[in-house]
Amino acid sequence: MSTPFSVLQQSLPYLLQGVWVTLVVVLGSLSLGLLVGLPLAVGQVYGPRPLKRIIGLYVWFFRGIPLLVLLFLFYFGLFPFLHLDFSAFTVAIIVLGSISSAYQSQILRGAILSIPEGQMKAARAIGMSDAQAIVHIILPQALRLAIPGWSNEYSVLLKDSAVTYALGVAELMARAHHVASRTYQHLVLYLCAGFIFMILTFLGTRALNALHRKVKLKGYS
Amino acid sequence: MIRLERVTKIYPGSAFPAVDSVSLEVAEGQICMLIGSSGCGKTTIMRMINRLTSITSGTIHIGDQNVMDMDPIQLRRQIGYVIQQIGLFPHMTVYDNIATVPKLLWWDKKRIAERVDELLDLVNLDPDTYRFRYPRELSGGQAQRVGVARAMAADPPVMLMDEPFGAIDPINREVLQEEFLRIQARLRKTIVFVTHDIDEAIKMGDKIALLDAGRLIQFGSPEELLTKPKNQFVKDFVGADRTLKRLNLLRVKHAMLRNPVHCLEEDPSEKVAEKMIEQDMSYLLVTDRQGRLKGYVNLYDLRGHKGTVGDVVRPLSLTVKPDTNLKDALSKMLSYDLGIVVAVDDAGRLQGFLNTRTLFSVVGESYDERGGHWGRITADGRIL
C-alpha cells in the first residue's frame, strides 16, 4: 500500500514536467495575446469607425463565451471543419491567446487613453506622422502603465490553462488528475498541484513587479 | 514671412466661423502676438499655419510657398512649435526630447549631440547637468526652456508659440520672457505667439493682432494699440490702465532730460547757493570732475556753509539706467521724496533725469498729436 508521501515523491518529477507545459501554454498565449491585443487596442483608439466596430465584436466574442466552450468549438469544431490538423497543445495556445488578446486590448486601450491628449498633439505639431507618434510617444508610455494589468492577466491565464486538460494537453492539472485516478491519492495530488499554481502565480507577479519598477520613469512617485 | 489672406475656418456643424476672413502679415524676424479672450480663434489661426487644423477658405503663405501645396508633415518639421503646458515627452530624457526632430530628419549622431548642447546653452541650461534628466525632474521654468530648445532644434525660420509661458509662475515667466527676447534678438525668427495676457503681448510683440469672435479687430504695433485703440472693444481689452502700460514700452532714455544743470563737489558752497537762489532752485545735482554722480545738495544745507559742496552732499541711492523702462523708473520715483529720478550710465556718470512732468508729457494720450511736446520744459534743468 503506497502512502500519500511515497506517491507524491514518485510522481513529483512527472508533475514538474507538467509545469513546463503549463508555463509554455501560459507564456505562449500571453505573448500571442499581446501581439494581437496591441494592434487591436491601437485600432480601437485611433482607427476608423468600422474598424472600431469590428474590434468591438471580436472582443465581445472572446470575452463573452466560456473558455471550455471555445476550446471545444475550436478543437472539435472549427479546425477540423477547416481541415486544419492542430494538436491540442497548439489549439490551447491559440484559444487562450485569442481570449487574452481580447482582454489585453482593453487593458492597453485604457492605458493609451490615459496618456494626456497633449502628447499626441505635441508629437504631431513637431512633425511626426500619426504612426510615428503612436510608436515613439504613445506606446512607450502606455505599455509602462499596462504592466500592473498584465500581472493580473498572467495569473488569470495561469489558472485558465488548467482547463486545457479537457483537450488532453499534458499540463500540470492533467498530470495531477492522471496520477490521482491511478493511485486514489486525490487530496495530496490536487493540493500539490494547487500549491504549485500558487508558487507560479507568486513568481510571475514578482517578476512583473520588478519589471514595473525597472522601467518606471524617473521623477514619478 | 507669414502671410494670411482672408483666412476663414468654419468647424463642421458650427453656424459661426471660428476664424472669419482674417488677413495679416508677419514680416521676417518679427514677433506677431495673437491675443483675445478664449474662443476668439487665436489658437485656431496658429494651428492652421502648420495645418494641424484645415483651412476652410483663404490662403496662408510662408515665404512664397502656399502651405496647402506642402506636405503637412514636412511643413511641420520646418516650423518650431512651442506647445501650451510644455508638452515634453515624459519617457524621454532632455536630450531625446530636443533631438526628436533632428532624429526624424536623420541627422547623424555627432551633429545631434552638438546641436543639443548648443541649444541647452542657448536657453541657459548647463548641458552636463541637464542632458540626461527626465522632464519630471525639472522645474516648470526649466521644462519650458527645454520646450523652446526642442522647437528650435532643426533651426526652423518660423516658430509658433502657443501660450508657452502660461503655466509658469509670474516671476519665472518674466525671466523666461526676457531670456526669450534676448534669444530672439540674436536669431531673428519669424514668430506667431498666442497669448491671452495683454502685458505679455505688449512686452513681446512687434505687432499685436487683437481678435474677437474670429474677427481681426485691430492689427498694429503695441504702441498703436495703446495710443490709438480703434474702438471701445480695444480700449476695454488693453485696459483702463493702457497709459500706464505704455510705460513698459518706453525707456528712460526716451524721456529723460539730458545735460541737467549740476555743480561739482569742489565748488564753494556760497557761490552755488547764490546761483540757486538766483534761479529759484531748491535742489541741485552734484558730480565729480569725471561727471560721476555724487548726490545732491539742498539750499538749506548750503546756507551759511563755508566749505565746498562736497562737505554737505547727500547721497542719491536710487538711480536708474538709460535702458530702464519707465514703469520701473516711475516706481523708484514714487518711493523717493524728491519727485525726480536720475539716470546714470554703467560707470555712474550723470546722463539725465526724469521728473513727473516729463513722464506726464511722454505717456499722456495726446502725446502723439502734439509730438514731442515735452521739449518745452527742458528749460534750464531746474529740478523742481
Residues 6+ away with beta carbon under 8 Å from A47: A55
Query: Using an 8 Å Cβ cutoff, are A98 and A31 in contact?
Result: no
Q: How far is CA B41 from CA A64, B8, B194, B212, in A?
A: 47, 10, 10, 8
Q: Are strands B190-195 and B31-35 parallel, antiparallel or unpaired?
A: parallel
Domain B252-377 belongs to what architecture? Roll (3.10)
**A144–B contact, CB cutoff 8 A:** yes
Query: Which residue has better confidence, A30 or B301?
Result: A30
Q: How far apart are CA A143 and CA A215, in angstroms?
A: 10
C-alpha cell at B144: 519650458
Specify the 3-state DSSP secondary structure of B263.
strand
CA distance A206 to chain B (A): 23
The domain locations on chain A are 4-215
User: Does the CA dihedral A81-A86-A92-A96 come out positive or negative?
Assistant: negative
The answer on pLDDT for B371 being more than 70 is: no
Q: Which residues from chain A sit within 8 angstroms of residue B139, using beta carbons?
A: none
pLDDT at residue B85, as a whole number: 65
Q: Is the ipTM of this complex over 0.85?
A: no
Q: Flag if A122 and B83 touch (Cβ within 8 Å).
A: yes
Confidence bin at B354 (pLDDT 50/70/90): confident
CA distance B70 to chain A (A): 13
pLDDT at residue A45, as a whole number: 93
Q: Which residues from chain B sit within 8 angstroms of residue A141, using beta carbons?
A: 89-91
Phi/psi-derived region of residue B210, left when phi > 0, alpha when psi is between -120 and 50, beta in every other case: beta
**A132–B contact, CB cutoff 8 A:** yes
CA distance A118 to chain B (A): 6
DSSP 8-state class, residue B317: -
User: Does the CA dihedral B83-B89-B93-B98 come out positive or negative?
Assistant: negative
Residues of A27-45 as b/e, b for ≥16 C-beta within 10 angstroms? Answer: ebbbebbbebbbebbbbbb
Residue among A119, A122, A219 whose CB faces B137 most closely: A219
Pick the residue from chain A with its C-alpha nearest to B98: A126
Task: Determine which of B46, B52, B83, B91 to mutate to test the interface with A (most A C-beta atoms within 10 Å).
Answer: B91
Q: How far apart are CA B290 and CA B272, in angstroms?
A: 19
- What is the residue-level pLDDT of chain A in tens, covering all 221 positions? 577 778 778 888 888 888 898 899 999 999 999 999 999 999 999 999 999 999 999 999 999 999 999 999 999 989 889 988 888 889 999 999 999 999 999 999 999 999 988 899 899 988 899 999 999 999 999 999 898 888 899 999 999 998 888 888 878 888 888 888 888 888 888 888 899 889 999 999 999 888 888 888 765 54
Query: Using an 8 Å Cβ cutoff, are B93 and A219 in contact?
Result: no
Q: How far apart are CA B288 and CA A179, in angstroms?
A: 110
The answer on pLDDT for B377 being more than 60 is: no
Q: What is the mean pLDDT of chain B?
A: 85
Q: Which of B156, B151, B153, B124 is nearest to B138 (CA)?
A: B124
Query: Using an 8 Å Cβ cutoff, are A41 and A149 in contact?
Result: no
User: Does the CA dihedral A39-A42-A46-A48 come out positive or negative?
Assistant: positive
DSSP 8-state class, residue B231: S
Query: Which residue has better confidence, B378 or A161?
Result: A161
pLDDT at residue B251, as a whole number: 81
Residue among B100, B136, B160 whose CB faces A218 most closely: B136
Phi, psi of B343 (to 5 degrees): -100, 130
Pick the residue from chain A with its C-alpha nearest to B104: A128
Confidence bin at B375 (pLDDT 50/70/90): very low
**How many Cα atoms occupy the beta-carbon half-sphere of A151 within 13 Å?**
16
C-alpha cell at B85: 503646458
C-alpha cell at B335: 518711493
pLDDT tens digits along B76-106: 988 989 887 668 999 999 999 999 989 988 8
Can you spell out the DSSP letters for B143-156? HHHHHHHHHTTT--
pLDDT at residue B243, as a whole number: 72
Tell me yes or no: is domain B2-249 CATH 3.40.50.300.
yes
C-alpha cell at B16: 459661426
Q: How far apart are CA B17 and CA B136, in angstroms?
A: 39
CA distance A180 to chain B (A): 52
Query: Which residue has better confidence, B23 or B304?
Result: B23
Q: How far apart are CA B222 and CA A176, in angstroms?
A: 84
Report the length, in residues, of chain B: 384
Can you spell out the DSSP letters for B79-90? EEEEBTTB---T
Q: Flag if B90 and A126 touch (Cβ within 8 Å).
A: no
The answer on pLDDT for B195 being more than 60 is: yes
- State what percent of residues in chain B have pLDDT above 90: 31
Task: Determine which of B100, B119, B130, B158 to mutate to test the interface with A (most A C-beta atoms within 10 Å).
Answer: B100
Query: Using an 8 Å Cβ cutoff, are B78 and B20 in contact?
Result: no
The domain locations on chain B are 2-249, 252-377
Q: How far apart are CA A33 and CA A31, in angstroms?
A: 5
pLDDT at residue B374, as a whole number: 34
Residue among A123, A124, A141 whose CB faces B90 most closely: A141
Burial label, B331 (beta-carbon count in 10 A; 0-12, 13-18, 19+): middle
The hierarchical CATH code for the domain A4-215 is 1.10.3720.10
The answer on pLDDT for B365 being more than 80 is: no
Q: How far apart are CA B93 and CA B88, in angstroms?
A: 9
Chain B residues whose C-beta is within 8 A of a chain A C-beta are: 50, 52, 73-77, 81, 83-85, 87-91, 100-101, 104, 133-137, 150-151, 160
